Amino acid sequence: MIADPFLAPSTSPGLGIEATRARSDRLPLLVLGGLVASGLIVALTAANTRQLLPSSIRVSTPSYLAGAFAHSGVDVGLSGLIIVLGLMCVFYALAVRVADRLPMWALLMAIAALYTLVLLAPPILSTDMFSYVAYSRLGALYHINPYVHGPDAISSDALYPFVSPRWITTPTVYGPLFTALGYLLASFDVAAQVLVYKLAAAVSSLFVVVIVYRAAALRGLNQVKAVTLVGLNPVVILYGVGGGHNDLLMLAVLMGAVYVGLRQRDGASGALLVVAAAVKLSGGLLLPFAVANERARGNGRQPSAAVLAGATVATVLIGLPSLVLFGPSVLHLLSTLQGIQSHGGEHSIHGWILSAFGLQRWIGPVGIVLDGLFVAAVARLAIRVWRGGLDWITAAGWATVWMLVTAGFLLPWYVAWLIPLAALSRDRRLLITSVILTAVCMTTL
């Protein structure tokens, strides 16, 4: 009796291998599809799901800020939103896990789709864009120094109701370059400025993706995996691009500094690091590691000072115009930042933990100890780079981790500072840490 080939199970090992391979090849595409689908749900429901909107427009969202999907009428509510964002984190982690099997064309299409969706959505999760607008109007339209006064100084302005009550008395904490650039937009209406800031964030983030792709090749790393870690990160997409945050502009300059540093153009690297800090002060964290790397690369010879020379030139070129435009009060941003960090309360990892156990009175003292640990950790990491015992990008990544976990005031989009460095590091632990911190920051909604 001859067995029916259509009824009998296949005994051909080749067919079994091909079937397994086909299923394996579909998984990365399904993961990308899940990420895009969850992003689509966020974009479609953002205008009607109050938890996704900035706090100042949750009660009444102007039509010119409601985005292209304002009439969808869908509200997923808090529980639905938790599920969607949770799935987004899971799909992101899976995408990083299977990145070596992702087709580049599919990865780029997924990134383009997600960025387009959040650009069409209303401002997401943060009022910071409205603060940017307020600070630009303070200086350009009302001739009030934004490093001395907060938005409450222009309470009669039509923009004022959009600023979060938490920040109405707080002077700007942003670098003089970013603040000065904001002056150019001061006469635009709110809708136009929101669009400009979101577009600037999107373009900056895409620039970071390109830089990471090229830098990964210089370092002999998997380029697709590096792009996956950066381009699909849900915090970068939802908070960064969706919220129009200047962190992404700072990161674009910062990663430009890293790239030219990898090409051993140390003077340009030092200058760009100062430019990044002039957008947002946290960009300056990489400077000691760039200096230490330059010395380590000298192999015991007389160390070059190109990084410091470039940084000095950039400081002068930015600092002098800043003093003319803002006066010495530009230095007030340091004390303003210190005040915010020291009163972060539950908006920090240690503050949240202590508050959960009813130990709020210890937040301040613990914060002081953590500040000391952060400084010590950065110094130790920089010394290791100086001695040639640690890669400078990896060291800068771990220093950023220390900055995040010890911060007295931590906002979700700050994790974006870490992601490109983790993508260019050979330390797998840093990559895993970046994914974990992404998930942690997504839970702070």
Task: Decide if 407 contacts 348 (C-beta within 8 A).
Answer: yes
Specify the pLDDT at position 397: 97
pTM: 0.91
Specify the pLDDT at position 11: 46
Specify the pLDDT at position 114: 97
The residue ranges of the chain whose pLDDT is under 70 are 1-24, 299-303, 344, 444-445
Specify the pLDDT at position 20: 45
Specify the pLDDT at position 291: 94
Specify the pLDDT at position 17: 47
Specify the pLDDT at position 24: 55
Specify the pLDDT at position 346: 73
Specify the pLDDT at position 330: 92
Specify the pLDDT at position 303: 56
